A and B are shown apart, each in its own frame.
Chain A
């Protein structure tokens, strides 16, 4: 395929690489290495905070899978995708100032640190660290594969070369620059995502002869495409509404998102991030899914959903501009992968190694271990992505909803409910994960239980377990700041 698409993509990779390098220069001479490497020294400003949250959250599915489904389903799927606007403000408002204050009080660098201090239970630490490592490791591999497939499909270079290119660029900047590199590159990647979707939307509307003409041809093909119920009329209100939990309010429970709520500098950054985050999430989700639907009359008959965006981009834009716009989905994948990599690495180093293997490690050892573990994890993921084992693909199915069901209540109620204790947290995590897996299997053979997405019932069950565990076993009030007599 032609070079003019490849060149802007490569330039983008080079730019990202330099930002990573810049971030790494801030690490030399750092006196609080762990805090700097895994949390960027808690100094994110409003814009970077908003962008890193949106970019981490917006992944291959917002840029490829989601629009691809909207192409088949019509406006009903855009309605579903717009449930995500709530994440732009909800996560930061709920975790908000309380989490920022408590994380500093506890000197917590990772989410597990917070849970460890709040619940004072090794079982909670081990269970949460294990589920982060297992589920997010597999999620990372899946995104990695998506990134390589995307490069393969738009440039024509082989899957292996594409994987190598993608892996090396991400690995290098994450390893040398840590969380700060991840957040700064996320900001640029988020910017590319917004600009890319705007250009593409305008071009698609023009190519289709204006919105009224596009909507008319959709209705001529199948009137259901413009209803909220999907092309076959089988998207029920209950099912679509249950995505408010999966991709809306439940996102509070995702470790890669929650950890960002303890990384910002001050209240002003948070306030600014709330506004920017809401607008950016809304613009990206609305635009990308509109593009998916609008692509249908222009390029009918695309069978594989993930190919809709690359194909429509190459169709409606000149090659050099297509290269720039297609940097957007790549940015989305990279910004998700880099956050997962640094999070899994922090879990291994801070929560496992420093907690249980060598608590008295020197600053120098910690540094070497942190770089080493990050690089090693990234390499292993890249090697696994060459020929992904079935087990990883299987685990990835539970990564998103399973983690939400496991973590949402131990985090949220741990912050706000004085009676929350370790028994509640443990029961809630176990119930969340197990019921998610059980209901997943039930739904895939019998159709959705109660007509809602798999995540819904486990989130309710884990709430009940949290409350029951906390009230029935060793009930006691908890104070973040010891009470004065």
Chain B
């Protein structure tokens, strides 16, 4: 198989992995912490804790992960025909 396709396939799997991780983080904090009674919530920068961890920290973590993954694992390939290396 074309080497470039192998790279592309690996990167697609990384995308699926990131999305799964993103979902678990988002769901875990939202419903794990948010399922408590409102009186038990603590507030971080004024925001409910479940929301802060799930949506604010979750977003920052994902942005950093995407950046890291791109730097570390994504390979430069040519898109033009017949340019197999």
Which of chain B's residues 2-43 have a Cβ closer than 8 Å to chain A?
2, 4-5, 7-9, 11-12, 14-16, 18-19, 22-23, 26-27, 30-31, 34-35, 38, 41, 43
Shortest A393–chain B CB gap in Å is 33
List, in ascending order, chain A residues with CB within 8 A of B56's CB.
Answer: 286
Complex-state Cα separation, A244 to B21, whole angstroms: 13
- A212–B46 CB distance below 8 A: yes
- B14–A93 CB distance below 8 A: yes
- A215–B43 CB distance below 8 A: yes
Contact A237:B31 (CB < 8 A) given known A78-B51, A226-B41, A275-B67: yes
- A279–B11 CB distance below 8 A: no
The answer to the question of A75 belonging to the interface, with a C-beta cut-off of 8 Å to chain B, is yes
Q: How many residues of B contact A (CB 8 A)?
A: 48
Shortest A79–chain B CB gap in Å is 5
Complex-state Cα separation, A286 to B51, whole angstroms: 11
List, in ascending order, chain A residues with CB within 8 A of B51's CB.
Answer: 75, 78-79, 226, 228
- A101–B15 CB distance below 8 A: no
- B62–A85 CB distance below 8 A: yes
Contact A85:B59 (CB < 8 A) given known A98-B9, A228-B31: yes
- B5–A215 CB distance below 8 A: no
- B8–A278 CB distance below 8 A: no
Give the contact stretch, choosing among A4-12, A16-24, A264-272: A264-272
The answer to the question of A135 belonging to the interface, with a C-beta cut-off of 8 Å to chain B, is no
Name the interface size band of chain A.
35 or more
List, in ascending order, chain B residues with CB within 8 A of A266's CB.
Answer: 78-79
B22 nearest in chain A by CB position: A86
Shortest B56–chain A CB gap in Å is 7
- B75–A210 CB distance below 8 A: no
- A282–B63 CB distance below 8 A: yes
Complex-state Cα separation, A22 to B11, whole angstroms: 36
Cross-chain contact of A94 among B15, B22, B77, B81 (Cβ < 8 A):
B15
Complex-state Cα separation, A77 to B18, whole angstroms: 23
The answer to the question of A35 belonging to the interface, with a C-beta cut-off of 8 Å to chain B, is no
Complex-state Cα separation, A363 to B76, whole angstroms: 35
Which of chain A's residues 195-251 have a Cβ closer than 8 Å to chain B?
210-215, 219, 223-224, 226-229, 237, 241, 244, 248-249
Cross-chain contact of B63 among A75, A227, A279 (Cβ < 8 A):
A279
Complex-state Cα separation, A105 to B70, whole angstroms: 25
Complex-state Cα separation, A126 to B12, whole angstroms: 29
List, in ascending order, chain B residues with CB within 8 A of A388's CB.
Answer: none
The answer to the question of A370 belonging to the interface, with a C-beta cut-off of 8 Å to chain B, is no
Shortest B68–chain A CB gap in Å is 10
The answer to the question of A305 belonging to the interface, with a C-beta cut-off of 8 Å to chain B, is no
- B15–A89 CB distance below 8 A: yes
Cross-chain contact of A481 among B2, B23, B45, B54 (Cβ < 8 A):
B2
Shortest B49–chain A CB gap in Å is 10
Cross-chain contact of A228 among B7, B34, B47 (Cβ < 8 A):
B34
- B55–A271 CB distance below 8 A: no
List, in ascending order, chain A residues with CB within 8 A of B14's CB.
Answer: 93
List, in ascending order, chain B residues with CB within 8 A of A227's CB.
Answer: 34, 38, 48
List, in ascending order, chain A residues with CB within 8 A of B16's CB.
Answer: 94
List, in ascending order, chain B residues with CB within 8 A of A93's CB.
Answer: 11-12, 14-15, 18
List, in ascending order, chain B residues with CB within 8 A of A286's CB.
Answer: 55-56, 59
List, in ascending order, chain B residues with CB within 8 A of A249's CB.
Answer: 19
Which of chain A's residues 253-295 have a Cβ closer than 8 Å to chain B?
266-268, 271, 274-275, 278-279, 282, 286
List, in ascending order, chain A residues with CB within 8 A of B66's CB.
Answer: 88-89, 274-275, 278
The answer to the question of A69 belonging to the interface, with a C-beta cut-off of 8 Å to chain B, is no
Binding site for B on A (CB under 8 A): 75, 78-79, 82-83, 85-86, 88-90, 93-94, 96-98, 100-101, 104-105, 210-215, 219, 223-224, 226-229, 237, 241, 244, 248-249, 266-268, 271, 274-275, 278-279, 282, 286, 416, 480-481
Return 25 A-B CB contacts under 8 Å, by A number.
A79-B26, A79-B30, A79-B34, A79-B54, A79-B55, A85-B22, A85-B58, A86-B19, A86-B23, A90-B18, A93-B14, A101-B77, A104-B81, A210-B46, A212-B43, A215-B48, A226-B38, A227-B38, A228-B31, A228-B50, A237-B27, A237-B31, A266-B79, A275-B63, A275-B66
Closest 7 CB pairs of A and B: A93-B15, A211-B46, A212-B46, A98-B8, A97-B8, A228-B34, A223-B38
